Chains A and B, each alone.
Chain A
Amino acid sequence: MSSIGTGYDLSVTTFSPDGRVFQIEYAAKAVDNSGTVVGIKCKDGIVLGVEKLISSKMMLPGSNRRIHAVHRHSGMAVAGLAADGRQIVARAKSEAANYERVYGEPIPVKELADRVAGYVHLSTLYWWLRPFGCGIILGGYDRDGPQLYMIEPSGISYRYFGAAVGKGRQAAKTEIEKLKLSEVTCREGVIEIAKIIYAVHDEAKDKAFELEMSWVCDESNRQHQKVPDDLLEQAKTAAKAALEEMDAD
């Protein structure tokens, strides 16, 4: 499936004869090689989950956060190059703050997604910039209810019921499609996401990982926050049990 650009891939401002921009596709590959990031829109909110691959046993658990709060009502989980992700999060926070200062109300999630997508797209227009190597899953809860958006390195942004990026995205998407999301609450969603992330984690290729999760839902008062520790532990236990069941077959 992957082909060498052979000369048409040296710059993001060059099209190939078959209409592709290879630099953007290569940026997407950077995302594909990173740990899985999953997001779902449940009945009463959004749940985001990240498979945080641990590169060294010396790292403090809980450091190197991959999920960031953009505003009181929204959060972003980033897959791919972490440093690129930090830039995008900073920009998103700035857009959200600026919108509220001018318009007097929290930025609608749709508007935030459009602005982040526009910013990511910007870096695909100029030869002196390189595209961001990040896939972003943005979840928020505004007056129009909970919404989930995914933004790709090309700058494409769509609204989703369930989305996954990174290594295990194919398997994760299959699992998400099995869920009846319009009936699942966020509490249940947290458990399901944990199960999915544990299931798609490849024990052979990658050693250790840490599960990071956040939610915005009615229960969290429509604020974006880390999933409470007790629920997180509950989810991890359930996920590990489900995994053993699978292995036992």
Chain B
Amino acid sequence: MAKNTLSSRFRKVDIDEFDENKFVDDHDEAADQQGPDAGDMMAALHIALRNPPINSKNPAIKERAQTVVLKVLTSFKGSDIEPAVKSLDKNGVDLLMKYIYKGFERPVENSSAILLQWHEKAFAIGGLGSIVRVLTARKTV
């Protein structure tokens, strides 16, 4: 009486996948990312922000990009952050904000403090709009 004699294999089916009203984003090709070389910090930042894995669904690629960018961001001196943010264009600032918030999600020792400094400077340039774009972006970094 206590034993379940009926098949419960149906419980393993993800019913949301079969919903005909399910919203599917437009799918684009994935782009690969290369790591920067050590040295000039400003150039490293620009290179790290190039080719973000926005269109990729592969979490490994995104993880790799995130670690690279985080490494570059944490190796900046506090006083260098502002000119670095100023050198980015509008899309660059939005992209930087995305990486900053991604970095907040997984705090490593001391990373949050540096990220908060970056956040303050990026917010001064990008304003609330850049944060709203992080929240509403369908294609995350």
**Chains A and B belong together in one complex:** no
> Which residues from chain A sit less than 8 Å from chain B, CB to CB?
none
> Which residues from chain B sit less than 8 Å from chain A, CB to CB?
none
